[in-house]
Chains A and B, each alone.
Chain A
Amino acid sequence: MGLVSPDYGTIFWMVLAFSVVFFILKKFAWGPVLKMLKEREQSIDNALLSASEAREGLSRLQAEHDRMMQEAHGERELLIAEARQIREQLINKAREEAAIENERLLEHARRQIESEKLSAMSEIRQQVATLSVDIAEKILKKELADRSKQESLIKEQLSDLKLN
Chain B
Amino acid sequence: MKRWMYFTWILLLMVTSGGPLLAFSGEGQNEPNEAPKKFDAGKFIMEHVMDSHEWHIMKIGQTEISIPLPVILYTKEKGLSVFLSSKFHHGTKPYNGYMLAEEGPHEGKIVQANTNGTINETAPMPFDISITKTVAAMLVSLLLLLLVFLPMAKKYSKNTDKAPTGFQALIEPVILFVRDDIAIPSIGLHRYEKFMPFLLTAFFFILTNNLMGLIPIPPGGANVTGNIAITALLAVFTFAITTFSTNKNYWKHIFDAPGVPWWLKFPIPLMPFIELLGVFTKPLVLCIRLFANILAGHFIALSFIVMIFIFGQIHWIAGYGSSVVAILFYVFMTMLELLVAFIQAYVFTLLSAIYFGMAKVEEHH
A interface list, Cβ under 8 A from B? 1, 3-15, 17-18, 21-22, 24-26, 28-34, 36-37, 39-40, 43
Contacts and interface: CB of A to CB of B under 8 A. Distances in A.
A47 B175 CA distance: 23
A9 B130 contact: yes
Given A21-B201, A33-B156, A5 B130 contact: no
Given A25-B146, A25-B201, A34-B179, A10 B230 contact: yes
B129 interface: yes
B102 to A, nearest CB: 12
Given A11-B233, A18-B233, A32-B157, A4 B175 contact: no
B228 A13 contact: no
A13 B201 contact: no
B196 A4 contact: no
Interface stretch (B54-62, B89-97, B147-155): B147-155
Contacts of A36: 156-157, 160
B182 interface: no
Contacts of A34: 175, 179, 193, 196
25 contacts: A1-B132, A3-B228, A3-B295, A6-B229, A9-B128, A10-B135, A13-B129, A14-B135, A18-B142, A18-B201, A18-B233, A18-B237, A21-B201, A21-B205, A22-B197, A24-B146, A26-B197, A26-B201, A29-B149, A32-B157, A34-B179, A34-B196, A36-B157, A39-B161, A43-B161
Contacts of B306: none
B215 interface: no
A10 B229 contact: yes
A30 B201 contact: yes
Contacts, number: 120
Nearest to B223: A3
B309 to A, nearest CB: 21
A127 to B, nearest CB: 122
A4 to B, nearest CB: 5
B132 A10 contact: yes
A71 B145 CA distance: 69
B132 A17 contact: no
B197 A30 contact: yes
A160 B52 CA distance: 190
Interface string B43-69: 000100111100000000000000000
B131 interface: yes
B334 to A, nearest CB: 22
